[in-house]
Amino acid sequence: MTKPTETRRCPWCAAPIPTPAGPGRPRRFCRRSHRQRHYEARKLAEAQGIAADEVLIGREQFDAWRDQLYRLEAAIEDAEQDLGETPGLREYTEAFQVLYRAAQEARGFRLDPRALGSP
């Protein structure tokens, strides 16, 4: 049996799941609580008639996601403007710093769905 080359990720939070060293079924979730949240979200999705390719999130989380996406888009636009026609090392450095700060803010952002359709 070949081992997968990709890192397995928790379906709830996308955290990497270590490959088990011993026998047994590999873990699907990084925590038991995430398995429970995933189950609850699936059951709510079934009750609401949400399809497998749909996710239900709260308005507050959606707004936070939209704001985060806007900040990333603005950082890209700022970097493009900073680079101008003939950018030098200083312009590349400043553009990188703007993009890096925006990416750092987005790095820990997570959406916790209330309901998700079951595949």
Q: Which helix (H) or strand (E) holds 115?
A: strand 115-116
- Per residue in 22-65, pLDDT (tens digit) is 888 888 999 999 999 999 988 988 898 888 888 888 899 999 99
Share of the chain above pLDDT 90, in %: 35
Tell me the pTM: 0.63
Amino acid in the structure at residue 67: D
Domain spans, the chain:
32-116
SS3 (DSSP) at 56: strand
Phi and psi angles of residue 56, each rounded to the nearest 5 degrees, phi first = -110, 125
